[in-house]
Amino acid sequence: MAILLKRTREAASPEDGARVLVERRRPRGIAEESLQLSAWLPVLAPSEPLRRWFAARPLQWPIFRRRYLAELGGEEAADGLSELHAMAGSVKTLTLLVSAREQERSHAAILRDLLEGARKPPSTSGPARAAARGSVRAQRKR
């Protein structure tokens, strides 16, 4: 499976496969039909405060990445992540559409890394999740 990143302003092509918009809002000035979306998952976009924070501090990529992954660990993003994982497993090519000019330093790149790494979404693993489930091992670490 190939996962591509593409700006919303770039024209759709047959090589795109399934096209998924991962922005909270539909891009301005672009007709919905021209996006040729297979899905729109706004819950996978960073929160507005985090997006503004990163826009003001573009050199803080590692901190943005960590904070965004923490947001993906929340309940709100769980359904969207599950849908994205299912879609990625059922298509030959998945294209994540993002408005950012620099796709490699966008939340779409982080989503691609999650999908390509075949790692579980943050909400399904980790010490916080284990503690919430009542894992004995997690309780010993307290």
pLDDT given at position 32? 79
Give the rounded percent of residues in the chain with a pLDDT score beyond 90. 59
Q: Closest Cα to residue 121, out of 59, 87, 75?
A: 75
Mean pLDDT, residues 101-123 taken together: 80
Q: Is 88 exposed, middle or buried (0-12, 13-18, 19+ CB in 10 A)?
A: buried
Whether the model pTM is above 0.95:
no
**Which residues share a beta bridge with 2?**
93
| Helix/strand/coil percentages in the chain, nearest 5 | 55, 15, 35
- CA-atom Rg of the chain in angstroms: 16
Q: Which two tokens stand for residue 18?
A: 């399934």
Least confident window among 18-32, 83-97, 105-119, 128-142? 128-142
